[in-house]
Amino acid sequence: MEAWASSALERAEAWAKSCRKINILKRLQREAFCELMKLRDRQEKVERALAFYKTGKGSPFQETGGTRMRGVVSSPSLLNMAGIRTGVDSRFIFETVTRQRDTLVAEFVARQDGPSAQVSNVPGSQLTLSKVTYLANINDWLSLVSVPFGARCQDFSFGSYPSQQGLMEPSSFDPPLLNRYLGCAAGLRLKCSNITATASQSVSRHLGTFGQFDFQLLEGARVSAMGLWQVSGSPPQRSQAIQMSPLEPLPSSQAEDEQPSGRRPGAGDSSSGSAAVVLESELDDSSRIRGWVEWVKPDLRSSEQSLQWGLSLSDTPEEEVGWGLAVGGRTSSSQRRVQFEGFLNFCIGKRLTLQPGLVYTVDGKTQFPALVVSSRWAL
């Protein structure tokens, strides 16, 4: 009897040990499965981030701080006739990552226009805080953008447009609509599969609504439709930019530069509208071809309107010599202009880029070339 009891006890202990081993194996299996699921989720997030930044020049792993400079050397009197900004334009952009996924951007501008530089008694130019942007990434498909002052349509646009590939303003590489001044504005971005949408509202002197809709046709090819509707207000006020140098008075409002030709803000102003369609195709990782058409109506009450267009081809690899070519024009009842642009892109190291370019403009019976030099660096 005692032998039977001892044998039964040993069997029970052996069964209990085997059950404990099975339970340990099951627990390890559950833990391993949970870790694999976490790794899979992280991999999917990285893949979505790479797909999101694939159409732009930026990288999801780029550093938080950066400084950019943009210089223009040209003939002021001739280029001013075509409405092209002249002189030297330096921009310093500082980016700070907050909450691990949000971005705070501050942009400082030092501008010295060609004609004013010759008559100014103060050497150099003032430094102003021209823009503050806060980008809040709520999740993988929703982002909120807030710009207290200095906002432009390109701040709310998707894709490669914010890279400002063009060498001057206006440029044939991107629709001029993206460079329209909004002032104080806020908006949101939505991304779902192959469809992207963005909308923003301006609450400054000119009440304006900007919207963009992107649809990816094929891999590397997409079509974009965008529009801007503005309601004019009171006469232009002084710029809201914060002056960092006491040497000179603040410049005039940036919005004044963005008014369509032949139009002055006043009490009789009404709403104005612009609409553009962009078709872009990526030939490889660094080459792309883009065509766009923009329709502009400065005053919706009048019959005056203009049509602008552009076609560009560029190849800008990161560590090799790149190039870009563009042709564009503007047609209206009082003006016909064609503009040719070309540049070379030299990457000096990983943080410095130099872009010398040539612009040739035909405005009616007037023809003139211009030399443009642009450089960008990051610290």
pLDDT in tens, the chain (379 residues): 667 667 777 777 777 777 777 888 888 888 888 888 888 888 877 777 666 555 444 454 444 444 444 433 443 444 555 556 556 677 788 888 887 788 888 888 876 654 444 444 444 567 788 889 999 988 888 999 999 988 998 888 876 544 445 566 667 888 988 988 888 999 999 988 888 999 999 887 778 899 999 998 888 889 999 999 888 754 444 444 455 444 444 444 344 444 443 344 444 556 788 999 999 998 888 889 999 999 988 776 666 788 999 999 999 888 788 999 999 998 887 778 899 999 998 888 777 888 888 889 888 888 888 888 888 777 6
Q: Which residues pair with 280 in a beta bridge?
A: 222, 290
Tokens linked to 303: 């019959």
Contact 201, 187 (CB under 8 A): yes
DSSP string, 232-262: --SSP-B--PEE--TTSPPPBPHHHHTSPTT
Strand partners, 359: 341, 370
| Short-list 362, 320, 360, 308, CA closest to 344 | 320
**What are all long-range contacts of 112-119, with beta carbons under 8 Å and residues at least 24 apart?**
112/87, 112/88, 113/76, 113/85, 113/86, 113/87, 114/74, 114/76, 114/80, 114/86, 114/87, 115/76, 115/77, 115/80, 115/86, 116/87, 117/87
Sorted by where each begins, the domain ranges of the chain are 1-53, 54-377
CA 65/CA 96 separation, integer angstroms = 7
Alpha carbon distance 264, 295 (integer Å): 19
Residues 361 and 82 sit within 8 Å (Cβ to Cβ): yes
- The candidate with the shortest Cα–Cα distance to 232, out of 201, 200, 264, is 264
Angle, alpha carbons 349-179-89 (nearest 5°):
50
One-letter amino acid of 71: G
Q: For residue 68, what pLDDT is reported?
A: 46
**Could you count the other beta carbons within 10 Å of the beta carbon of residue 270?**
12
- How far is the C-alpha of 78 from the C-alpha of 74, rounded, in Å? 9
Distance, in Å, from the CA atom of 60 to the CA atom of 53, rounded to the nearest integer, reads: 7
107-128 burial code (b ≥16 CB/10 A, e <16): bbbbbbbbeebeeeeeeebbbb
Residue 372 near residue 343 (C-beta atoms within 8 A):
yes
Classify domain 54-377 at the CATH topology level.
Porin (2.40.160)
- Separation of alpha carbons 113 and 89, rounded Å: 8
Four-CA torsion 202, 84, 73, 236, nearest 10 degrees = -50
